Amino acid sequence: MKKAYVFLAAIGLTCLGSNASFAQQQEYTSQQLETLKQAATQGDVASQENLGQIYQFGKFGVKKNLFTARDWYEKAAAKGGVVAMINLGNMYQKGDAIPQDYAKAKALFEQAASKDNPIAEYNLGVMYQDGKGIKKDYPKAMEYYQKAAAQGYGNAYNNIGILYQDGLGVHKTKSAALDNFKQACLNDSHQGCENYKKFEKQDTKK
């Protein structure tokens, strides 16, 4: 595999490891950004997480700076910020502004998953499915995907569908694959919709 979290399947790709949601507000004025920075400096976790995301993606007129994003995520994660744990974990697994370290990424995802966060559960599932930095474990991947799917996380349904489609850790079951691709699509997974369409198209050709 050429890139972390790209897992080739018969009819499509699993969805990539996910970042947590972007800053809560659509737009920030310069004054609001200054207020956000002040709150973050004073230790407000949500402000630290939002500021980290603004620097990570270079939004609202702020120049992209992964090192500054990392610093804010580290502060927020140390105080229990789940968004920070997930996004910092992704930075560790990709080696963005930080030495690549799958063990630290996994530990951060596990912390967030312990708070029942579906994105963290999903990302752990991808790690176990892909075997990046840890031994491949399809049943463990399924376990995490099911936890995330139970909370309506569409990409988790998609990857469950891939496991059933290819018989990875489970019996190859077309009906289960199709059902999960459909659920993925219904829960806003673009890749799930693509896989559902391709799977149905293949089925009608037979």
Residue intervals in the chain for CATH 1.25.40.10 = 22-108, 116-206
Q: Residues 4-61: pLDDT tens digits?
A: 222 222 233 344 456 665 555 567 788 989 999 999 999 999 999 999 999 999 988 8
Burial class (CB in 10 A: 0-12, 13-18, 19+), 171: exposed
> The pTM is what?
0.85
| Residue carrying structure tokens 């400096």 | 41
pLDDT class of 116 with cuts at 50, 70, 90: very high
Q: Residues 79-114: pLDDT tens digits?
A: 999 999 999 999 999 999 999 999 999 999 999 999
pLDDT class of 2 with cuts at 50, 70, 90: very low
pLDDT at 203 over 70: no
Letter for the amino acid at 13?
Answer: L
As a whole number of angstroms, the distance between CA 73 and CA 77 comes to: 6
pLDDT at 177 over 80: yes
Query: How many Å separate Cα 50 from the centre of its chain?
Result: 17
Q: Residues 125-166: pLDDT tens digits?
A: 999 999 988 999 999 999 999 999 999 999 999 999 999 999
The pLDDT value given to residue 156: 97
Cβ atoms of 39 and 31 within 8 Å: the answer is: no
The pLDDT value given to residue 13: 38
The pLDDT value given to residue 20: 63
Pick the CATH number of 22-108 from 1.10.1750.10, 3.30.30.60, 3.40.50.1820, 1.25.40.10: 1.25.40.10
pLDDT at 74 over 80: yes
Class level of CATH domain 116-206? mainly alpha
